[in-house]
A and B are shown apart, each in its own frame.
Chain A
Amino acid sequence: MAGEVVIEIQNISLAFGGVQALIDVSTKHMRGEIFAIIGPNGAGKTCLLNCISRFYNPQKGLVIYKGEDITRVSTHSIAKRGIARTFQNIELFKGMTVLDNIKLGRHSFLKSGIFSDIIYYGRTIREELKLRNEIEERIIDLLEIEAIRKQVVGTLPYGLQKRVELARALAMQPEVLLLDEPMAGMNLEETEDMARFILNVNSMWGVSIILVEHDMGVVMDISDRVCVLEFGRKIAEGSPRDIQGDPKVISAYLGQDQKTYSRL
Chain B
Amino acid sequence: MQGELLFFMQFLLSGLSMGSIYALVALGFVLIYKSTSILNLAQGEILMVGAYICLSMTLDFGLNFFASFIITMVFSVILGLAIERLVLRPLIGEPIISVIMVTLGLTYILRGVVIMLWGNDIRQFNIFPEEPVDLWGVKLTYLYLWSMGISLLLLTGFAIFFKYARTGIFMRAVADHQTASQSMGISVKRVFAISWCIAAVVSSIGGILVGNIGGVGVSLSYIGLKVLPAVIFGGLDSILGAIIGGLIVGVLEFLTAGYLDPYVPALNEVFPFIVLVLVLMVRPYGLFGTEEIERV
Cβ of B183 < 8 Å from any Cβ of A? yes
A108-B176 in contact given A113-B167, A117-B165, A117-B167 (Cβ < 8 Å): no
Given the complex, which residues of B lie within 8 Å of A104, measured CB to CB? 169, 173, 184, 186
A182 CB to closest chain B CB, in angstroms? 15
Q: What is the bound-complex CA distance between A173 and B194, given in angstroms? A: 27
Residue of B nearest to A75 (CB): B182
Q: Would you give the 0/1 interface string for A64-96, flagging 1 where the beta carbon is closer than 8 Å to chain B?
A: 000000000011111110001101000111111
Chain A interface bracket (under 10, 10 to 19, 20 to 34, 35 or more): 35 or more
Is B172 in contact with A93, judged by CB distance below 8 angstroms? yes
Is A77 in contact with B185, judged by CB distance below 8 angstroms? yes
Please tell me which one of the listed residues B167, B169, B182, B194 contacts residue A76 in the complex, with CB atoms under 8 A apart.
Answer: B182
Q: Would you give the 0/1 interface string for B37-77, flagging 1 where the beta carbon is closer than 8 Å to chain A?
A: 00000000000000000000000000000000000000000
A176 CB to closest chain B CB, in angstroms? 12
Please tell me which one of the listed residues B165, B166, B177, B186 contacts residue A91 in the complex, with CB atoms under 8 A apart.
Answer: B177
Is B187 in contact with A76, judged by CB distance below 8 angstroms? yes
Q: What is the bound-complex CA distance between A105 and B184, given in angstroms? A: 6
Given the complex, which residues of A lie within 8 Å of B187, measured CB to CB? 74, 76
Given the complex, which residues of B lie within 8 Å of A107, measured CB to CB? 166, 169-170, 184-186
Please tell me which one of the listed residues A105, A114, A120 contacts residue B194 in the complex, with CB atoms under 8 A apart.
Answer: A114
Q: What is the bound-complex CA distance between A100 and B177, given in angstroms? A: 14
Is A79 in contact with B176, judged by CB distance below 8 angstroms? no
Cβ of B106 < 8 Å from any Cβ of A? no
The secondary-structure label for the interface of chain B is: helix
Please tell me which one of the listed residues B183, B186, B194 contacts residue A53 in the complex, with CB atoms under 8 A apart.
Answer: B183
Given the complex, which residues of A lie within 8 Å of B188, measured CB to CB? 75-76
Is B185 in contact with A172, judged by CB distance below 8 angstroms? yes
Is A92 in contact with B177, judged by CB distance below 8 angstroms? yes
Q: Would you give the 0/1 interface string for B176-198, flagging 1 where the beta carbon is closer than 8 Å to chain A?
A: 11011111111110000010000
Is A79 in contact with B180, judged by CB distance below 8 angstroms? no
Is B185 in contact with A76, judged by CB distance below 8 angstroms? yes
A108-B167 in contact given A91-B177, A93-B172, A96-B176 (Cβ < 8 Å): no
Residue of B nearest to A116 (CB): B166
A93-B179 in contact given A76-B188, A108-B185, A172-B185 (Cβ < 8 Å): no
Given the complex, which residues of A lie within 8 Å of B167, measured CB to CB? 112-114, 117
B166 CB to closest chain A CB, in angstroms? 5
Q: What is the bound-complex CA distance between A143 and B249, given in angstroms? A: 48
B194 CB to closest chain A CB, in angstroms? 7
Please tell me which one of the listed residues A94, A95, A116, A172 contacts residue B184 in the complex, with CB atoms under 8 A apart.
Answer: A172
Central interface residue in A78, A80, A95, A120, by most chain B CB within 10 Å: A95
Q: What is the bound-complex CA distance between A93 and B179, given in angstroms? A: 11
Given the complex, which residues of A lie within 8 Å of B176, measured CB to CB? 93-96
Q: What is the bound-complex CA distance between A85 and B182, given in angstroms? A: 10
Given the complex, which residues of B lie within 8 Å of A205, measured CB to CB? none
Please tell me which one of the listed residues A87, A113, A172 contacts residue B180 in the complex, with CB atoms under 8 A apart.
Answer: A87
Q: What is the bound-complex CA distance between A12 and B179, given in angstroms? A: 22
Residue of A nearest to B167 (CB): A114
Given the complex, which residues of A lie within 8 Å of B183, measured CB to CB? 53, 75, 78-79, 84-85, 87, 91, 169
Q: What is the bound-complex CA distance between A125 and B177, given in angstroms? A: 27
Is A79 in contact with B184, judged by CB distance below 8 angstroms? yes
Residue of A nearest to B188 (CB): A76
B183 CB to closest chain A CB, in angstroms? 5
Residue of A nearest to B161 (CB): A117
24 A-B residue pairs with CB within 8 Å: A55-B179, A75-B183, A75-B188, A76-B181, A76-B188, A80-B185, A85-B183, A91-B179, A91-B180, A91-B183, A93-B176, A96-B172, A104-B169, A104-B184, A104-B186, A105-B184, A107-B170, A108-B184, A108-B186, A109-B185, A112-B170, A114-B165, A117-B165, A172-B185
Known: A104-B173, A107-B166. 19 other contacts (CB 8 A): A55-B182, A74-B187, A75-B183, A76-B182, A76-B186, A84-B183, A91-B179, A91-B183, A92-B180, A93-B173, A93-B176, A93-B180, A94-B176, A96-B176, A104-B186, A105-B184, A114-B165, A116-B166, A172-B185
